[in-house]
Structure 1
Amino acid sequence: MKSLRRHPYYLRGNLKNSNKINSQYITNRTLTCWNSLPVNCFPVKVSSRAFKSNLISLDLSKHLTLSPLNY
């Protein structure tokens, strides 16, 4: 079953964000950032150059800092 809210490159992590410490692991933060990318960020024709240019236009600042509420 395909969800309308996810892009086709959605990744599922093995670590659960069940506690404050696990939510700060780099793998969980990276997956959260990756999975929150909008669908239009991914080019129709797979190209790293097109992906990079689409990625530059996004505001990823909320993913670049640790939240003090989590630890």
Structure 2
Amino acid sequence: MSTVYVTAGTILGANKYGWPTGTKLEYRWFRNGEVFAGGWHDTTKVWPGKGDKYVVRVKGTLNGQVSYRFSRTYTVR
């Protein structure tokens, strides 16, 4: 995956496109490989922490089938 550099205060959004119609999407944001409080939405705010890395996992469920997609890595400058 590619890396994008961001600054503190940036709002990151999960990619919700490309899923089949009717897919239920769930989001889980990670900072430095760990889940964090409030990271269950399709967007999250980048907090100060130079070098911190953010990734979102999108879980898609359709007709009992589950699949996952991970975002690129967002690194705080």
TM-score, scaled relative to structure 1: 0.26
Query: Whose Rg is larger?
Result: 1
Question: By percentage of residues, which structure has more helix?
Answer: 1
Question: By percentage of residues, which structure has more strand?
Answer: 2
Bigger RCO (CA 8 Å, 6+ sep): 2
TM-score, scaled relative to structure 2: 0.25
